[in-house]
């Protein structure tokens, strides 16, 4: 997968790209990042990429010319990429969207600053608008890092263990079950006996129940889309009533 990142602050991504899963994905050849400072594409003699909004108002607006030219540069000779605008007005990001984007060969992120984007960018270039939450960040870089990480870790062989991604929280529609490791007794706190029983059927049943309980008590909104048996739905109602 190729990912182009249009940003005024490419140095923000250097640390993220050189560690952990994103570094591993590059070493495996699964992921090729390209940092593009779209200020380099401005035709403004002062290297400005923003201007005052028509109609007045506070803040500055990113001008269309630098971003249009930067997009044309990174898409030259390329098939149709997904062009993602990081924007608080975008659709709320979730695991389903990550899985969708992980199937693409070429993604482009546009990371804005200032008050917003010239609307012609949104209307003529962008294929997806994404928000990582109902709060305001200084720019789109941190959001783009989060989306990029969540997508790249889904690429084949990147995690090493093929079952890791499907078992993550949200991948099944439920939150993930609790985890324990050695020692079995730590300062008098015991690992649940079922996990040391060696009975894989009971272990899976326990994990499913714990996952369901956590979701019902912490994120009940997720249950509307989860695939549950009638018995599980009855159990959820009991927990919620209690």
Distance CA 223, CA 159 (A): 27
From the list 104, 149, 168, 232, the catalytic residue is 168
Residue 137 belongs to domain spanning: 2-152
Mean pLDDT by 10 residues, the chain (242 residues): 97 96 97 98 95 90 96 90 95 96 98 89 97 94 98 95 63 88 96 96 96 95 92 94 88
Quick one: 79 and 195 in the same domain? no
Quick one: 147 and 174 in the same domain? no
168 flagged as catalytic: yes
Q: Is the separation of the CB atoms in 146 and 13 below 8 Å? A: no
Q: Please check whether residue 25 lies inside any domain of the structure.
A: yes
From the list 115, 129, 149, 232, the catalytic residue is 115
Domain end among 94, 117, 152: 152
Quick one: 131 and 198 in the same domain? no
123 flagged as catalytic: no
φ, ψ of residue 238 in degrees (nearest 5): -65, -45
Q: What pTM was computed for the model?
A: 0.88
Q: Binding site membership: which residues?
A: 112, 132-137
Q: How many domains does the chain have?
A: 2
Query: What is the residue whose two structure tokens read 């570094």?
Result: 23
Tokens representing 170 are 């949200």
Distance CA 112, CA 217 (A): 37
Quick one: 138 and 186 in the same domain? no
Question: So what's the pLDDT on residue 114?
Answer: 77
Quick one: 142 and 226 in the same domain? no
From the list 88, 104, 149, 214, the catalytic residue is 88
Domain end among 123, 152, 181: 152
Alpha helices (H) along 135-199? 141-152, 164-167
Quick one: 87 and 119 in the same domain? yes
- For 11-22, letters b (16+ CB in 10 Å) and e give ebbeebbeeeeb
Q: Binding site membership for S-adenosyl-L-methionine: which residues?
A: 112, 132-137
81 flagged as catalytic: no
100 flagged as catalytic: no
Quick one: 136 and 216 in the same domain? no
Question: So what's the pLDDT on residue 163?
Answer: 54
């Amino acid at each position: 997968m190729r990912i182009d990142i249009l940003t005024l602050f490419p140095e923000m991504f250097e640390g993220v790209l050189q560690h952990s899963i994103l570094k591993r994905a590059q070493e495996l050849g699964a992921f090729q990042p390209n940092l593009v400072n779209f200020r380099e594409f401005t035709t403004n003699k002062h290297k400005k990429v923003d201007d005052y909004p028509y109609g007045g108002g506070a803040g500055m607006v990113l001008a269309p010319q630098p971003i249009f030219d930067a997009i044309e540069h990174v898409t030259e000779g390329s098939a149709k990429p997904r062009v993602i605008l990081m924007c608080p007005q975008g659709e709320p990001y979730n695991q389903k969207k990550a899985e969708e984007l992980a199937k693409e060969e070429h993604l482009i992120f546009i990371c804005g600053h200032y008050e917003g984007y010239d609307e012609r960018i949104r209307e003529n270039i962008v294929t997806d608008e994404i928000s990582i939450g109902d709060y305001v960040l200084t720019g789109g870089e941190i959001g783009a890092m989060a989306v990029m990480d969540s997508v790249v870790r889904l690429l084949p062989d990147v995690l090493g263990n093929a079952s890791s991604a499907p078992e993550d929280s949200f991948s099944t529609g439920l939150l993930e079950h609790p985890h324990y490791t050695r020692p079995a007794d730590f300062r008098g706190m015991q690992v649940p006996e079922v996990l040391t029983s060696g009975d894989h059927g009971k272990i899976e049943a326990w994990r499913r129940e714990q996952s369901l309980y956590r979701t019902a008590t912490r994120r009940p909104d997720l249950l509307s889309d989860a695939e549950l048996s009638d018995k599980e739905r009855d159990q959820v109602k009991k927990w919620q009533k209690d």
